[in-house]
Amino acid sequence: MSKTMNVSVEEEIEGEFRKQAGLRYGKKKGYLGRALTEAMAEWAKKNDADVVNRGMVLLKEGIKGRKWRFNRDELHER
């Protein structure tokens, strides 16, 4: 399913994007949509990985420099 979006983009970025999309997909119907869909998917994938990485850093380093100091039994009140 496709969705329609209206967005504002800096003129210089838009021009370069159209140029690169045309080179990659050819300037035939739907080339901008294909290129934008690919770019958005890559951006989402990269940012999802960044969130996981930041979470792992917090687990290792703790929040505000404070490390977690407990074991499994303490968590489950055994």
- What does the pLDDT look like over 3-53, one tens digit per residue? 888 999 999 999 999 999 999 999 999 999 999 999 999 988 887 777 777
Please state whether the predicted TM-score (pTM) of the whole model is above 0.75.
Answer: no
Place 68 in a pLDDT band, splitting at 50, 70 and 90: low
Evaluate if residue 65 carries a pLDDT over 70: no
Query: Residue 76 corresponds to which amino acid?
Result: H
More confident residue, 35 or 68: 35
DSSP per-residue codes, 16-76:
HHHHHHHHHH-SSTTHHHHHHHHHHHHHHHHHHHHHHHHHHHHHHH-BTTBPP---HHHHT
